[in-house]
Structure 1
Amino acid sequence: MHTNLKRSHTRSIAIAAPPETVFDLVSDPTAFPRWAPGFARSARPAGDHWIIENDQGEAKIVVRSSRAHGTVDILSADDPGQGAYSRVLPNGAGSEYQFTLQFPSDAPEDAVTAQMAVVDAELEAVRALCE
């Protein structure tokens, strides 16, 4: 039995814009306030990390991105196993943006549902900004 595994939840959205356009937006920490304002009201560089500010205060993050693979991981600098994993894929003449969050196995269902509703709104914002 794998009791230490987290629960993963993934959302995906089709975007009528080239993968490069979507990648450029979602991989730029200074753009986070435009499409994920609950996560980052602001973002500033701090060496190899970024400092984001939101309603909970400040947090240090790492953004690992690969244009060649279309991946953008937004991770806690203090706990790199905690964060969001995303990928921009070609989809016909446009793109598909996939976004995965992991939750502790004992996370309350209502908290997971609420957080994924936020993710859905963020994906819609990415689409609106890219199209």
Structure 2
Amino acid sequence: MISRHVSVVIAAPPEAVYDYLADVDNLTAWAAGLASGFTRDGDDLLAESPMGTVRVRFVPRNDFGVLDHDVTLPAGTVVNNPLRVLAHPDGAEVVFTVRQLGMTDEEFERDCAAVAADLESVRAAFG
């Protein structure tokens, strides 16, 4: 299985970037897959996707910059998405690990490009 770390450096304090990403009310501003919105179901978020309803669950807020989240697909497959906010000499670095899993090479490249675009949206939120 291939993994790729997609990242962006943001000229803002890591704590501010983490707080922005951890606030689920900001998701639709930066996560294109949730652009149409979501509903809350306890600690989970439900979002409509081309595959049907997906369930998203983030790890609890923490002091380590960890924003990992599991996405449960309509067929029941759970995809773990590592997401971190790290201190960087120029502010913060946001790192999202994309795993190829069962995707074709073309699908994987498309997924990585989509994640990169999402991270650029995060950077844009900080000017």
| TM-score, structure 1 as length reference | 0.82
* RMSD after superposition: 1.9
| 1:9-24 matches, cutoff 5 A | 9-24=4-19
Give the Cα–Cα distance (whole angstroms) in 2 for the partners of residues 93 and 7 of structure 1: 29
Q: Secondary structure at the match of 1:115?
A: helix
Of the three residues 30, 50, 63, the one matched with 1:68 is: 63
The total of aligned residue pairs comes to 124
- Aligned-pair CA distance for 1:83: 3.0
For structure 2, the residue ranges without an aligned partner over 5 or more in a row are: none
Distance 1:126 1:62, change over 3 A: same
Higher strand residue share: 1
Of the three residues 99, 103, 126, the one matched with 2:100 is: 103
Of the three residues 49, 52, 59, the one matched with 2:44 is: 49
Of the three residues 24, 29, 37, the one matched with 2:24 is: 29
Give the Cα–Cα distance (whole angstroms) in 2 for the partners of residues 87 and 52 of structure 1: 22
| TM-score, structure 2 as length reference | 0.85
Q: Secondary structure at the match of 1:72?
A: coil
Distance 1:29 1:57, change over 3 A: farther
Query: Which 4+ stretches in 1 moved above 4 angstroms?
Result: 77-80
Q: Work out the percentage of aligned pairs sharing the same amino acid.
A: 29
Q: Secondary structure at the match of 1:68?
A: coil
Give the Cα–Cα distance (whole angstroms) in 2 for the partners of residues 74 and 41 of structure 1: 19
Task: Map Cα deviations across residues 64-98 of structure 1 (whole Å, 9 max, x no partner).
Answer: 14431100012124544x13111101112511111
